[in-house]
């Protein structure tokens, strides 16, 4: 176990090598909230399945088995446990729960992630590994101070989070894109994983390529999962068109975040629609 833990810490230090490796890692961390907030929000739905009730488990598994491997498994568990059927009738979480999730994200994940990249110290990197536990504890502590009130919807808070995340992810992508705007190969080298094994490459290049695959699988599975939440199949081509246009301009992270915001928007609109039907 100690050897495996040390290997994980060593990997992240190779991934923080100046140049493309740390640039991609910083981008991954910058869009990372989308992979932690969605499971956290779903765990607080009133009708959620016990299978997805503890996002900290999926978070810890992603630290050991990679987020690219666990994200598809999370959505598989979500859909097999009846998540799509519940989506048609579910409602927004409370304002206190939404605030607690964001507080947990900032305190439990954000601060230690920034410190890891900033200081590049093995101890800090080791402390970053169990961040899902820190996030869960911070979320629960917030809820002990501010109790959820069912009448207070957290829809606006979650949407604001998505908007800020979209802007942040877009700016990160622009910062990566602009210096490489006239060099497609450089942009490809930053984002696109190699199809051939990098046998003779240096360790930082291998770590960078591993992260590219990890990012690809996590974003791809999240992006595809959103297609299952459409209310009409006619919406699927529009989402795919959005991906086609948005990924080059805003980046893959921002493109997926925007669709996640649309998905949550469907839930937030239901009380208004129900009220209109009653009148």
**Which pLDDT score is estimated for 87?**
84
pLDDT (tens digit, 9 = 90+) per residue, 175-215?
999 999 999 999 999 999 999 888 888 999 999 999 999 99
**Which pLDDT score is estimated for 270?**
56
- Tally Cβ neighbours within 10 Å of residue 135: 26
| Measured distance CA(99)–CA(195) in Å, rounded | 41
Angle between helices 155-177 and 235-250 (to 10 degrees): 50
**Which pLDDT score is estimated for 274?**
45
Encode the chain (279 residues) as per-residue pLDDT tens digits: 556 678 888 999 999 999 999 999 999 999 999 999 999 999 999 888 999 999 999 999 999 999 999 999 999 999 999 988 888 888 889 999 999 999 999 999 999 999 999 999 999 999 999 999 999 999 999 999 999 998 899 999 999 999 999 999 999 999 999 999 999 999 999 999 999 888 888 999 999 999 999 999 999 999 999 999 888 899 999 999 999 999 999 999 999 999 999 989 888 765 544 444 445
| Measured distance CA(213)–CA(191) in Å, rounded | 9
What are the residues facing 94 on neighbouring strands?
153
**Which pLDDT score is estimated for 25?**
96
This prediction has a pTM of: 0.91
Closest Cα partner for 217 from 88, 100, 73? 73
**Which pLDDT score is estimated for 177?**
94
| Measured distance CA(226)–CA(35) in Å, rounded | 13
Are the beta carbons of 47 and 99 closer than 8 angstroms? Answer: no
What are the residues facing 153 on neighbouring strands?
94
DSSP string of 176-233? HHGGGTT-HHHHHHHHSPPSS--TTS-HHHHHHHHHHHHHHHHHHHHHHHGGGG-SST
Ramachandran region, residue 82 (left: φ > 0; alpha: ψ -120 to 50; beta: rest): left
| Measured distance CA(198)–CA(185) in Å, rounded | 17
| Measured distance CA(61)–CA(209) in Å, rounded | 21
**Which pLDDT score is estimated for 46?**
83
């Amino acid at each position: 176990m100690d050897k495996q833990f040390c290997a994980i810490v060593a990997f992240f230090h190779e991934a923080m090598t100046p140049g493309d490796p740390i640039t991609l890692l910083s981008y991954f961390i910058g869009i990372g909230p989308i992979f932690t907030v969605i499971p956290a929000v779903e765990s607080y739905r009133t009708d959620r399945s016990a299978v997805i009730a503890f996002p900290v488990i999926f978070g810890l598994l992603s630290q050991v088995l990679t987020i690219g491997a666990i994200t598809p498994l999370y959505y598989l568990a979500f859909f097999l446990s009846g998540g799509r059927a519940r989506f048609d009738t579910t409602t927004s979480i409370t304002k206190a729960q939404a605030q607690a999730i964001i507080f947990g994200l900032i305190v439990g994940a954000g601060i230690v992630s920034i410190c890891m990249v900033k200081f590049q110290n093995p101890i800090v990197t080791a402390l970053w590994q169990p961040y899902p536990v820190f996030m869960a504890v911070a979320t629960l502590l917030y809820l002990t101070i501010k109790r959820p009130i069912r009448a207070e919807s957290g829809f606006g808070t979650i949407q604001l989070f998505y908007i800020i995340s979209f802007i942040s992810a877009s700016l990160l992508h622009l910062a990566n894109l602009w210096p490489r705007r006239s060099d497609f190969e450089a942009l490809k080298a930053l984002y696109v994983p190699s199809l051939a094994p990098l046998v003779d490459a240096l360790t930082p290049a291998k770590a960078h390529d591993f992260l590219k695959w990890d990012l690809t699988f996590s974003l791809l599975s999240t992006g595809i999962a959103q297609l299952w939440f459409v209310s009409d199949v006619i919406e699927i081509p529009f989402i795919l068109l959005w991906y086609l246009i948005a990924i080059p301009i805003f980046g893959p992270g921002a493109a997926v975040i925007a669709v996640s915001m649309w998905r949550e928007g469907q839930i937030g609109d239901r009380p208004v629609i129900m009220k209109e039907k009653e009148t």
